[in-house]
Amino acid sequence: MKVNVTVDCTPEEARRFLGLPDLRPMQDAVMAKLQQQMLDAATMVSPETLLKTWMPLAPQTPEQMREAMTAMFRLFTPGGGGPGKPGQG
């Protein structure tokens, strides 16, 4: 014996018929909070904040920046103590 049952109802009607809880209010609240957190994080991010996060010891004054650039260029010049120095590498 073969029995076919066709049920024509909406997902909401099926949920109620089966006695499943309605999670829509909870999902909406969680999504609203998540969206607000994402918007807050996006507005708080600035290039200066990102640079400080990525490079916590970044030079803060023009003199410190000049010294950092000089040290960096010294690394990449022959005889400057960097990778180009003979015997290293």
13 and 36 together in one domain: yes
- For residues 88 and 42, the model is more confident at 42
40 and 16 together in one domain: yes
Mean pLDDT of all residues in 27-31: 96
The parent domain of residue 75 ranges over 46-79
Would residue 88 count as lying in a domain? Answer: no
Would residue 40 count as lying in a domain? Answer: yes
Q: What percent of the chain has pLDDT over 70?
A: 74
58 and 73 together in one domain: yes
35 and 22 together in one domain: yes
Would residue 73 count as lying in a domain? Answer: yes
Kindly tell me if the per-residue pLDDT of 78 is higher than 70.
Answer: yes
Q: How many domains does the chain have?
A: 2
CA–CA distance, 18 with 57 (Å, rounded to integer) = 60
Mean pLDDT lowest for which of 13-22, 44-53, 71-80? 44-53
Q: Environment class of residue 66 by beta-carbon count within 10 Å: exposed (0-12), middle (13-18) or buried (19+)?
A: exposed
Model pTM score = 0.41
Kindly tell me if the per-residue pLDDT of 55 is higher than 80.
Answer: no
